């Protein structure tokens, strides 16, 4: 999804989130509504609403006198969220393997085919968007709206592709997606959960390499 298709609030959220994870905005930096509204060419309302989203995700925090500042994101906090995501996503793919319909598997295959194409073209932006769609589709297959909302919150707080992964990483990712699709289609819930766990563990190792370099 390109910025032009996003609402003003979502555009501000995505750009601030990216700036935080890339280190452009550093822990303790103050976010000023008026300054950001001028920078993004929007009113102060979308900026204020974006602050609420980022605060809920644990990326910024309110201080005295209504000051909003960037929080320090520690590896421990990220890994705690990853541990929770591993448990919940394992449950989700088990449910998807038992409940998934043919049309849902076809949609996963379509998205992952597009991801392979984006990987071949080294299109990191398209890959990130499609990856989001892929996992969201899997979560929906579990048929649990509350679980879906929890996964969306965990996903938002993760620095998945900052910086964008290499083409080789992209193809490893889509290869694991194909394995996951196959396990779910063949109604092998335990295998699907194991693949999902390995998928998240690989991302954790990549984050560790970045955070502790």
Assess contact for 153 and 124: CB atoms under 8 A.
no
How large is the C-alpha radius of gyration of the chain?
18
pLDDT digits (tens, 9 = 90+) for 23-64: 899 999 999 999 999 999 999 999 999 999 999 888 999 998
**pLDDT for residue 66 is more than 90:** no
**pLDDT for residue 161 is more than 60:** no
Quickly list DSSP for 35-77: HHHHHHTS-HHHHHHHHHHHHHTTSEEEEGGGEEEEPP--HHH
- The fold adopted by the segment(s) 75-211 is 1.20.120
CA 2 to centroid of chain Cα atoms: 16
| Amino acid 72: pLDDT | 85
pLDDT: is 153 or 158 the higher one?
A: 153
Q: Where in the chain is the domain with CATH 1.20.120.530?
A: 75-211
Write down the pTM of the prediction. Answer: 0.80
Architecture, CATH, for domain 3-70: Orthogonal Bundle (1.10)
């Amino acid at each position: 999804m390109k910025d032009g298709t996003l609402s003003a609030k979502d555009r501000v959220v995505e750009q601030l989130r990216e700036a935080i994870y890339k280190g452009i905005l550093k822990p303790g930096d103050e976010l000023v509504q008026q300054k950001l509204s001028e920078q993004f060419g929007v009113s102060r309302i979308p900026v204020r609403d974006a602050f609420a989203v980022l605060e809920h995700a644990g990326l910024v925090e309110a201080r005295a006198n209504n000051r909003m500042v960037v929080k320090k994101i520690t590896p421990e906090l990220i890994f705690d969220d990853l541990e929770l995501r591993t448990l919940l996503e394992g449950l989700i793919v088990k449910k998807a393997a038992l409940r998934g319909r043919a049309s849902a598997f076809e949609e996963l295959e379509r998205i992952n085919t597009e991801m392979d194409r984006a990987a071949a073209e080294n299109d990191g932006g398209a890959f990130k968007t499609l990856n989001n769609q892929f996992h969201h589709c899997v979560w929906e297959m579990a048929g649990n709206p509350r679980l879906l909302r929890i996964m969306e919150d965990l996903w938002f707080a993760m620095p998945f592709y900052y910086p964008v992964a290499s083409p080789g990483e992209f193809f490893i990712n889509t290869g694991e997606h194909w394995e996951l699709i196959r396990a779910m289609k063949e109604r092998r819930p335990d295998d699907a959960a194991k693949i999902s766990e390995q998928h998240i563990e690989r991302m954790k190792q990549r984050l560790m390499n970045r955070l502790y370099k």
